[in-house]
């Protein structure tokens, strides 16, 4: 699906990555979440559509094992929720999440991705990441790129990102 302009940068990249890696539809921002506190209205959550238990398990496990890539903070799948603090435990929300894997993302994951401060955890999936990142190339190529990420009423402003982008991302987007 096309990325929504209201998706945070790491959510947009995660959507594009998931669609390319697994060939499934993924959605991010929507005006209302199904539960109070949902991160969908903030552009910090995505749903990857699948009813396949094995495919859903693969997706959930990938986002957990590689939590630092996009800033995964929680995963909901088949009546269970994974959080960094508690691991997997029962999920009692209104949807059992049997037709999609829900992934919530943190703000800091987006900043780290753009600044290239993370080790490269995608050794086997660099091509998919490069494809996802290329969708944001126009934003990254602008020398005066400014990204605002709200966090508890505070904003982190990053200027001149082009010089700070990791060599892998720079090569992928041609800067």
Which pLDDT score, from 0 to 100, does residue 141 have?
38
pTM of the model: 0.64
The mean pLDDT value for 145-162 works out to 34
User: What DSSP state is assigned to residue 32?
Assistant: -
- Among 10-14, 27-31, 137-141, 163-167, whose mean pLDDT is lowest? 137-141
Helix (H) or strand (E) holding 26: strand 26-27
State the pLDDT at residue 26.
96
Does an H or E element contain 150, and which?
Answer: strand 147-151
> Under DSSP, is residue 141 helix (H, G, I), strand (E, B) or coil?
helix
Q: Tell me: pLDDT of 154 over 90.
A: no
Q: What is the pLDDT of residue 148?
A: 36
What local confidence, expressed as pLDDT, does residue 167 receive?
Answer: 52
């Amino acid at each position: 699906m096309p990325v929504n302009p209201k998706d945070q940068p790491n959510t947009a990249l995660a959507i594009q990555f998931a669609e390319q890696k697994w060939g499934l539809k993924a959605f991010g921002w929507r005006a209302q979440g199904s539960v109070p506190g949902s991160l969908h209205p903030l552009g910090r959550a995505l749903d990857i559509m699948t009813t396949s238990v094995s495919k859903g398990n693969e997706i959930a496990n990938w986002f957990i094992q590689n939590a630092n890539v996009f800033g995964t903070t929680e995963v909901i799948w088949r009546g269970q929720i994974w959080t960094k603090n508690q691991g997997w435990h029962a999920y009692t929300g209104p949807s059992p999440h049997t037709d999609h894997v829900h992934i919530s993302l943190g703000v800091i994951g987006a900043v780290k991705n753009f600044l290239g401060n993370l080790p490269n955890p995608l050794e086997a999936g660099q091509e998919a990441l490069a494809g996802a990142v290329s969708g944001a190339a126009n934003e990254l190529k602008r020398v005066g790129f400014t990204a605002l990420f709200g966090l508890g009423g505070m904003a982190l402003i990053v200027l001149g990102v082009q010089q700070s982008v990791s060599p892998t991302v720079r090569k992928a987007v041609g800067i």
